[in-house]
Chains A and B, each alone.
Chain A
Amino acid sequence: MAEGLRTAEQQWNSYPFGIEMQRHELNSASEKVGNCFFNPNWDNSMVQSGSFDSSLSSMVSSSSAISNAETVLPGYEHNMVIRKLIGRLGNDYNYSSYTSSQPLIKSNNANTPLNIIPKLNLPFSSDPGFSERAPRFSSFNGELGFNRNEFQANIPDSKRGSLLLSENIPRQNNVNSRKRKSIPSGKAEETPSMAAADSKIVAGAKRSKKDRADEEHHGNGEKHNKVKSKAAMAPTEYVHVRARRGQATDGHSLAERVRREKISERMKLLQDLVPGCNKVTGKALMLDEIINYVQSLQRQVEFLSMKLATLNPRMDINMESIVSMDMFRCCGSLPSTMFSIDSSASAFGFGYEHQQRVPMHNGEYDNAEARFFENSPNLGLRKTRDPIDDLTDANSQVGLFWDDDDLHSIVQMGFGQNQPQSYQGMVGHRSDM
């Protein structure tokens, strides 16, 4: 299917202004509009596509009806008709293209709009710039969302309702204009040309003024989230991304845009996870914060495991019961008090009498913890801690992780008499680890 598109593109490119060639075939006669759909020159089996069939038949009927009904300004009318038809075709094309991950689902669908457009451009004899624009569309790589925008702009409101893409215009514009910011230089050349094409196409339309204003904005290459509000926005949310006005519509750019949106979405999620990230703006700073947080969490795990290595629950039997849910309930019921307990407990390890502290804390304990306290003899506790003097650095450093100010005061109180300088030693020790 990709090769089918390429052949279509080559075809397209082969007659840059060569739509002139076919102009003689299809004059501004209204019937020709219908005929062009069945032009035997088309080597692509467009009619095989069911969606195109229905749209084409409807378009043919409507176009003939329209062209028959209206007489004045044949060129303009044909412009409108053709644009609407192209819009419809592009709708089908876009739908089919977007419902798959690739820009082109079927070669039928892919080629036909490109094939249609040069032929449909013929009636635009009154619009000379149009033929110039036609070959530019070939560079779309199959994406015609941009085309849709332009054509949509030209169609009056009454007809717009019948066009499926009308709802997409605001979104498209948003996407387009947003994408404009970071379009790489290679594509930047493309977009100004498209913007120029935009302005030219729009010139003939009713809303030319407003469009031109928009086009100028887009043509400046600035990022403008200008929504074309004229669209009858029946906001059907499409899962796929549409090309926006004034922006490149090839598959790469679209995929990039989708990617970027996903990334910003995830950054927001991360912002909620990482504490203190609300003030930070910008991806780079956010990522720095995230990196710091992950590093600190990993270090915390290390130190806690070091602490667990040094602390021995002499009551392994009680640990079995810990695995049961009782302990969990106890754990849950004592949120912040645990920290203070722990800090004082670590102070115990530095050779302090903890007898006097026990009654202080007993009231806060659940039964399970009181059990531990009674079970563990004071001496046993000391024995486990004394040989670990050289590791007290790690222990005390674990205390540093707890942000509670009370903790700090208690910890410092406990450590104050031991080694105030151990804090510096900790840093050095920690780096060794």
Chain B
Amino acid sequence: MDSQHLNPSTLKSRFTARFLRALIKINAQKPISSSSPREIFQRYRRIKVAADKSMAYSVRSRRTWSRATLWKLQSRSRRRLASSGRRSSIKTRTTTTTTTTTTSTNHRAAIVEKTSHEKENKEDHVGLAVQAEELRELVPGGESMDLCNLLDETAHYIKCLTTQVQVMKKIANLYSLE
């Protein structure tokens, strides 16, 4: 466990580093002592987004769910920036998002084609269709995957979620100890 933490290349350490940096940035924005519940709720949203984002970035684009998460986040931020009119930020982000978007859209297109081809083979899994749909909703990017890949993604997603929860628990512990 210790060696795992000290190893800078594990998922856990990558996520931890990123998340902590994001957390520090968020906390630096406003002092929490004077926060209203609304602000706290905003901060909560930001922290949640930061957690998901750091985890997705730690996984890079190796997994469909991470790609889908990053794509969602970036499209959302792009929309927000577009509405607020900060053009310069949009430009910088668009360049990064286009690459991700194209890869994700290509990937999605490929997946959808493959899924439609395999849809006729799904009749023997009729009993699992309901759960498969639920799982697809839970796992980001799972809408366009057949059951086989979906289970693969779910396994990796569970692993990353557990890491996330562990690290966040420990951080929360440390916070509360102060």
Contact = CB atoms under 8 A, between A and B. Distances in A.
A284 B131 contact: yes
A315 interface: yes
Contacts of A304: 51, 165, 168-169, 172
B129 to A, nearest CB: 10
Contact of A328 (B13, B21, B159): B13
B45 to A, nearest CB: 8
A424 interface: no
Interface in B131-154: 131-132, 134-135, 138-139, 146-148, 151-152, 154
A331 B5 contact: yes
A390 interface: yes
Given A259-B118, A294-B154, A369-B174, A308 B40 contact: no
Contact of B132 (A287, A325, A331, A387): A287
A430 interface: no
A262 interface: yes
Interface stretch (A59-67, A75-83, A116-124, A339-347): A339-347
B72 to A, nearest CB: 14
Contacts of B52: 301
Nearest to B177: A372
Nearest to B158: A273
B85 interface: no
Contacts of A333: 2
Interface of B: 1-2, 4-6, 13, 16-17, 20-21, 23-24, 27-28, 31-33, 35, 37, 40-41, 43-44, 46-48, 50-52, 118, 120-121, 123-125, 127-128, 131-132, 134-135, 138-139, 146-148, 151-152, 154-155, 157-159, 161-162, 164-165, 168-178
26 contacts: A184-B123, A270-B151, A270-B155, A273-B155, A287-B135, A288-B131, A290-B154, A291-B131, A291-B135, A294-B139, A295-B138, A297-B164, A301-B48, A301-B165, A304-B168, A304-B172, A305-B48, A307-B172, A308-B172, A309-B44, A312-B31, A318-B178, A319-B20, A338-B173, A348-B176, A375-B178
Given A256-B121, A322-B171, 12 more contacts: A294-B154, A302-B48, A305-B168, A308-B23, A311-B176, A313-B174, A314-B178, A319-B20, A341-B177, A345-B176, A348-B176, A349-B176
- Interface pairs A-B: 8 shortest CB-CB: A312-B32, A287-B131, A309-B44, A345-B176, A328-B5, A266-B151, A304-B168, A297-B161
